Every structure is written in structure tokens, then in C-alpha cells.
Structure 1
């Protein structure tokens, strides 16, 4: 019996007080386990149980302030907030620390594949004046992004958000939203782990779900032209396999702005789109970029991705325009 059902049964006189208290105690013990995790995980400040949802508060703010706040979403297989609460250390933290060093004053950052806004909110915490653009094509996910922005109103003022996706052409596209409400893509991810449907309470229904959603898409080059954005300094791209198409639609921006590109590349996602990540590496090489990644706490160049490549996140740095960065950070592996 769920806790609310217990409370209603007791209120209706269907449970003796001592039975009710004992059953409630069993339900409430999980709170002590959560408190243990808060003590153990230095990145976690607290969890707030509110009438409008459950909020995770990071312990990353400066000057005693809270870090970013975000809703835990139990409809997802595992939400980002849930992961950051329960796992000590973030495998992407080294990437973010490096990116933080490269942020220019008044820099323009594109967060392509913004999901629920965590990456943009993390950037908005930086003391530098930044112009952050967050893009998320799925209407349901975009609404979750807006909800997280509302939890962080001061940070959200630094972010402009758009309910669109990017590809190699403008128009409309069908995205496939799996039952886990994450990892949506223009080519469906048929992994049962992502396709299992969950209830808002986090219970699996046992059903496989794949929803088709029609979304607006644009090219980076066209968006920059329409919005009079003359330069992009950092372009983050995490779009579940569509990275190649996004970068093809950003060719003019890459050739004129020479942004640092921080992209996810997974062979399994690229395969659904009919290409290998090496096509991205070759394309970017043709534009004067080299592909780098962190390995053994050092930045190394990756000339090609092989079956032995374990990294999934990569920095593309321009050989000429980012020469100082490469000279300072690139190491021999």
C-alpha cells in the first residue's frame, strides 16, 4: 500500500494507530538512506519534496549560494538530476572544467541538444558575461527545460531558449521519443532499456513505447543569419547521432567563426543515421580542425575512431585559430 493510501485509510478509521505508525516508519526509512547519500556526495546539497515535484539542489554555487536546481523526472529511465545525486563524481566534469577555461568574455555559446537545460544552467553560473542559446526540439522536453529555468530565475536570464532542433536543412522532421522520455532522435533508438515506459512515479509499466513527434528544425547557419549572430565561440552538440548533420548545416559558421566544437560521438548512434563518426572527424579536418579528447587526464588528438575507442565526448579545435590552446593542453598519449 502506498503512503498516501495508508494515510487515507488511517484518516477513515480503517487502521489502528500503532499499525499505521509502524507502516509509516517502514515507508519513511528511505529518507535516512537519502541523507546518507547527501553526506557522501559533495556535489549534492539537498533534495526538496515540493507539491509541484521533487527538486535536486547542487552544491556548486559560489559564496555560499545554492548550485543549480532541477526537477527529478521519474518518467525517465534515469534523469540527469537522479544520476548526479546518486553518483559521486561526473565523468563529464573534466570536460566541463576544460571548457570553463576557454570561455571568453561575452562569448556566444550554442547548446544544441539542450535537453532539460542542465548544461546551459551550469554555464550560466560562470562569472563571465556569456550569451547562451539553448535548443531543444521535443516540446515535452522543452517544457521540462523551462520548468528548470523557472527554478533558477537568476541564471535563466542569461539563457535564450528555442524549441527547435538542428540538422543539415531547415523544415520539419519526425523525432522518435522512447518510453523513457529521453534520447529522442530522428532515427529511433530501439534499445529496450530506453524504450520501456515508466509512470510519473517511476514504476515501469512493462510496455515498450516509441512516440513519433513532429518538430521544427533549422540549420545553424540559417539561424545565425536570421538572428544576426555574427560569431559563435563554443558549439556544444549532443543530438543522439545527428551530430554529422548538425555540423554539415553549420559549415559557414565553422568556416567564419571557428568555434570550439564540443560534440558527443557514439558509433551505435551514428550507425542509425548511416555513417561512422570518422566521417565527422574527416569533415572537420577538412575545415582545419583536429579532433581531441581527454585520456588519462590529458588532452590527446584522435585521428580516427576505432572499435577500441572508449571516449564518447570530443573537442574539435581549429589548428590555426586555437593553436595556443592546442600548444598548452595537447599531450602525447
Structure 2
């Protein structure tokens, strides 16, 4: 008689506990989104992502999007999370271990239009580092000097979405979220092949105050994506609604094939 390999009860139980911990983490973030304690767009991810999908979380920070995405794609999918800042990345890595999300692939790289190394600027306020305002110092427009202590700079590795897909033989990308303080156009330049091949859904932070440091505007970015065949939406009243242009007070914009 052929030998049959049977998964042991302890292993099944551990996998079930892991799925339960991930589901709890994702549900907690969705609850926080309902209270607007975190970004409300998290509530709309289930309209964009399904089991088995491949997602990129660029500027993952502490995992606000990583864990809801990981629950949605499940173990047959993958979430590639990129966070070059050491402290947020360490927290995200610890959380990934705690919830047993082995299908989250965490990287210390920033994302841009080409591979290499770039300075990462870490601003501070009242002596406290503001991780949410960290940005890569590449193609910066001239800026007036700011008051207070000079921001810290660390040199970080940078890659591109196209290079990651080639390296890992990723056949299709379904969803990309990018929140990189104005560097989003450079991330898109580095995903040119993926955008042409897959036309994934894109959730981007688009604000003139951040884009301006690189000499770009919100209208320029949204216009470029419309020319590629994307339609722009925002999360309002519990659903994704068509948006004509970027407006003050709304940070995140979804782009899907028109």
C-alpha cells in the first residue's frame, strides 16, 4: 500500500491559529478605519483584491495596509511590502511573525525608477523623528531651508517594481499601494512594464504639498494615469466613487482600468 502523508493535528491547529491571528489584526484595522483612526480606504480593499492575488505595499510603514491585504489574498497569494525605515520595518516584521503571515514578503528597499542607493530623509519635530514624512532625496526640486534641526539622512537600497517582478518571476500584479511622500511618480516609472502588462489597480497618495518637492503636481500625475486608460476614484460614503480631479482634504486616490 502506498504511504499517505497526513498533516498532523498540531500542525493544522497552528495554521488555524495563524489564520485567526491575521484575521483579528485585519479586522482591528478595518474597525479603526471605520472610526477614521487609520485611513478609511482600508475598508474598500475587498473590492479590489481577492484570494490568490499579488499585491505591492510601497511605503508599508507599520503594516496598516499590509495585514488587511494579506488576509484578503490568503496563503495562495502574496503581499510584497517595502519599508526602508528601520524602526517601522522592525515593528512590521515582528507583527508578521506574531500573526504567522508567511506570505508577506518584507523588504528593506525603497522603490523608485531605477535600482541603486539613495539618501532617505528623516524629518523631525520637537526632537521626534516623523517617520510618516520620510522621503527619498532624489530629483528634489529646490526648496527653501526650514527652521529647526537638520533632518537625519540614511542611505538605503532602492529597487523597482519591474525588477522585483523579474527577479521573483511574478507573472501578474493585481494591486499596488504607494504612499511615499511625493515619490509616487518615480515608483510608477519603475513599474512601466507591469503597468503595461497587467494594468493593476493603484491606490496612491497624491498631494501637491509632497509632489512639489520633486517639481510635480497632482494634476500632472492623475493626467498621466488617465492617458494610460485609468479612471480615478475616491472612497466616499462606503464605496469607491468617481473623482474628476485631486482636491484638498483628500489624500488617497484609486486608479482602475476605465
Q: Same fold (TM over 0.5)?
A: yes
Determine if the alignment matches structure 1 residue 287 to structure 2 residue 244: no
TM-score (norm 2): 0.77
> What is the aligned partner in structure 1 of residue 6 from structure 2?
none
1:168 alignment partner, SS class? coil
Q: Following TM superposition, by how much is the alpha carbon of 1:285 offset from its aligned partner in structure 2, in angstroms?
A: 1.2
Structure 1 pair 120–279 and aligned structure 2 pair: CA distance change class (3 A):
same
2:155 is aligned with 1:177: no
Q: Does 1:266 align with 2:216?
A: no
Aligned residue pairs, count? 227
Aligned to 1:98: 44
Bigger relative CO (Cα 8 Å, ≥ 6 apart): 2
Q: From 104, 110, 135, give the equivalent of 2:56.
A: 110
Give the Cα separation in 1 of the matches to 2:73 and 2:51. Answer: 9
Q: Compare CA radii of gyration and give the structure with the larger one.
A: 1
Aligned pair partner of 2:105 in 157, 160, 166: 160
Deviations 1:191-216 (A, max 9, x none): 98xx9xxxxxxxxxxx7451101011
Please point out which of 16, 24, 32 is paired with 1:67: 24
Superimposed CA distance per residue, residues 240-295 of structure 1 (whole angstroms, 9 cap, x where no aligned partner): 11011111111110110111101111111111111001111111112111111123
Structure 1: segments with no counterpart, 5+ residues: 1-60, 70-80, 196-206, 320-333
Gaps of 5+ in 2: 1-17
Paired position in structure 1 for 2:255:
316
Q: What does residue 10 of structure 1 align with? A: none
RMSD after superposition? 3.1
* Whole-Å separation in 1 of the counterparts to 2:218 and 2:198: 23
CA change 1:177–1:125 in 2 (3 A) is: same
Distance change >3 Å, CA 63–CA 225, structure 1 → 2: closer
Aligned residue in 2 for 1:136 = 83
Matches within 5 A, 1:44-63: none
Question: Structure 1 residue 226: deviation in Å?
Answer: 1.6
Shift of 1:89: 3.8
Instruction: Check if 1:243 corresponds to 2:184.
Output: yes
Mapped contact 1:136–1:162 kept (Cα < 8 A): yes
